[in-house]
A and B are shown apart, each in its own frame.
Chain A
Amino acid sequence: MDNRPVLLEIDNLQTHFRTMDGVNRAVDGVSFSVRSGETLAVVGESGCGKSVTAMSILRLIPEPPGKIAGSIRFGGRDLLKLSDREMRQIRGNEISMIFQEPMTSLNPVLTVGRQIGETLRLHQGMSAAKAEERAVEMLRLVGIPEPGRRVREYPHQLSGGMRQRVMIAIALACNPKLLIADEPTTALDVTIQAQILDLMRDLKTSVGAAIVLITHDLGVVAEVAERVVVMYAGKKVEEAPVGELFRRPKHPYTQGLLGSVPRLGSSLTGETSRLAEIPGLVPSLKQKIPGCVFASRCPKATDFCVAVAPGLELKAPAHVAACHYAEKEAA
């Protein structure tokens, strides 16, 4: 059993948005926890609420129109009850975040050094000179050549991969306890993706931060995650250690997700079958669904599924899924 202390505990998180035509329940009752130093992946299709979950942790959701309810306990404090000022001291310091779009996530009119130094000056009270010194150090740490020169450059002078390295440098500058990475490799070339993942893994061991990795890329999950939370339509539908999830997915949605990963060379071995897909679309989050949220697309769905929502049940050791028909295994 994992005996690392729990760092982040999200309980019944609900992030709703008021819109012109009703309330959008982007995240609807999601709970999970992250232990110190652990890497947790949150996976799901576009629009399943995984990014909103990530943004909710740092309270980066504009309120209104957003509304965050539930509790997010971090180091003994409920982040949702903190003042704006207290929240600012956590952002970029104890919890930091990197985003999907390295091309647009850096400020185009400030030097790279200034942007890395900003967190250090904010949270550690460093002088401008000291912060720049440390920024050079951080650039070296994330593998940017000639850091002394790069530190004075602007984002447009860097490639996409380099910019994501800079984002990582910003995120790790204050040695955070938790790093939230929202699709950190999606916008990058495949070769660069591997480099960035390696970098994140290396830095995680040296800095000792826990990582919440938001992604739709199951290859990335298999590569770096220890535990996986699968989200669908604003709800958690399955959670398991990574090996267990890949070997014995319980929820039909997870099974579908794993089945739709293209396999390299499948056309060479004579398998000409179509790529498996999950039929249908994610349901609208604006109406409440009484039964299982996946019922409309599920091959195993029955009338019972449409009528009654399944709760999350322990199906195997450390493995929960929300499905009436997922078989249980002896613990």
Chain B
Amino acid sequence: MIPRRVRLLFLTLLPLTLAAEGKVPPIWPQIQGIFPRGGQRGAAVKITLKGRNLQQTRELRFRSPHLTARVLSATPYQVEALVTLAPSAEPGRHDLRLLAPHGSAIGYFDVGTVAERTEKEPNNHPAQAEPLPFPALVNGILTAGDYDYFRLEAAAGQTLTFDVLATRNGASTDAALALLNEAGDELAFSDDYYGFKDPHLRYTFAKTGRYLLRVHGSSEAGCDTCDYRLRAGTMPHVETVIPAGGQPGQPTTITLRGVNLRHLAGVTLGDGLAEGEVLTATATEATVRLTVPPHAAPGVYKLHGRDALLPASFVVSTFPEFAVADGSARSRKDPLPVTLPVIANGILNRPRAADHFAFRVDGPETVVLEAHAMQLGYLTDPLVALYDESGNRLAWQDDPTTNTGKEPANLDPHLVFRLPRAGRYTAMIRDAQFRGDPAFLYRLTIKKAEPDFSLRVVGTDDTLYRGRTNTILVRVRRLEGWNEPVEVYVPHLPPGVSVQPVVAEPKNTPYTGTCGETHYLDGTNVEMQITVAPDAPPLAGHLEFRGRSRGVERIARTRYFRARIRHIGDAEEDHLRVTIADAPGAVLTVPPALALGKDHTAALTVIVTRLDEGRAEPLDLAIEAAADGLTATAAPVPPTTTRAELRLRAEAKAPGEFVVVARRAGAVIGRSHPIRLRSPQ
């Protein structure tokens, strides 16, 4: 079996990590907002993380050694920390892991290259617009109904780019962007820029003058943690790279297309993996010589133009690559001949464009047509087809998986087809919607099939509770004709942890759609039962999931899944991070604040989840850590009751905050977050 040398793109998995017994409420750390969500490299920035269960946070950790963080303070709802960014830190998004004794969580942090500032309210009307000197990077928050106005000046013929980084960076902000003239007329507008909800505008001004930029929540949506990072200016902006990949050790000349490229000073591959030399540059195109180092591992890297607005994707692979000259493969009757394996990098530069490649096989052969476009951030939604010598279409594929509500879509086709006999065949690629544009780039890999499988763990972090069996889902995906069972197991188990191997049969997991129809996941889900002994020692480390079949062994990678923004992707760390902790006997879910005036009473609803299974005693609820003058009365909570009510009375004004505790037979078995008391409106 030839192992897969390149596996860029992957299966998708559900973010389900379940406890085998009674479901544990989310008492592990959850990050809801980070502000500012980035900083300029070479600087230090104080950030605030907001969320739940953040108490006792002891560390914020980056994978990149160029980024460090120090926790300054931590409460259940908020962590403050100082992040130091080395001048050598790679621009772009980085995983930021929060570590606490009861679990861990991942957020994102963006490294920028220009000086940053924070928007200043009030800036809700054009008359209050803030100046926006270029290059600009503004960190802002969009509350509900909030409008942030910025004023700028532009010269006739000048091209400016505006980019709002929000959902791509883990924020739940659904932002929109409008460029207005001085009279308030809308010149350009962007809400969702293609595959993500972040707006993005490029605009060439016809007249010299003053203009306004408006950032706001789509339909005025917003929240206290809905942050954004607005980048704007005349900086170089690379939209396409062709070829968008190269082989290790091979020098390659790549063409960058975009705007404001005339002064592009150079490019950097990944985290300083290689430097590219600019050979020629015009406003819209630059050529760069780049040598991928021989030791570079296959995978997707970011290509950073120096001081550029955004990075572009660049793939290191071991297959021969070539750039398709514009229009050279447009004919079905006269396709461009290629030899397998090969990666064609092309642009569908006009509507209805389709590129065709002819190849030969010497006998019956299973071949693969694999397109990469949307997963690399390009606009093309590819469709591939395979034709025989007579022009008959043998097979086609559009989307391997669409968004069925169970899992996100994978719109880049991966067609595997058995050719019946030796001969000349033609592979075709086009945009599925017949669109075309100079930015419609694709990478098409044509090769013989290499049957293989891959594994993914959904989620990056998990808390395993002592004395309980915890379930973790692993998705096994069979590739290019692999049709054998795969045994999934966990080697190198920590003390006190046990898990039985599970066999994934070669059959995709079915599920029922909302109308009762049957769908299949893109692979087979297996449930790994992780049992933690009551006396298992503390652990803050990793679990490695592996799969083996017919002598082939693969290690599972982890993927994050951000349900609120339906965002899925590879985590920087390969393995699932686990924390072993004690589950409390009862979890008390309470609101973060309660309105209560002096000499008034109020009802506090407490959701009680009992994890002390099998115990029949009732619970007593009480308050703790309360300031003088706050009293509470409550009836015992029977074992089967999940909703209780405390009557509170305040005899003093603004008595501060308090905690609800649950006692069983006098012993505290659960404790709520602090509840802030505030005066009624």
- A and B physically associate: no
Chain B residues proximal to chain A, CB less than 8 Å: none
Chain A residues proximal to chain B, CB less than 8 Å: none
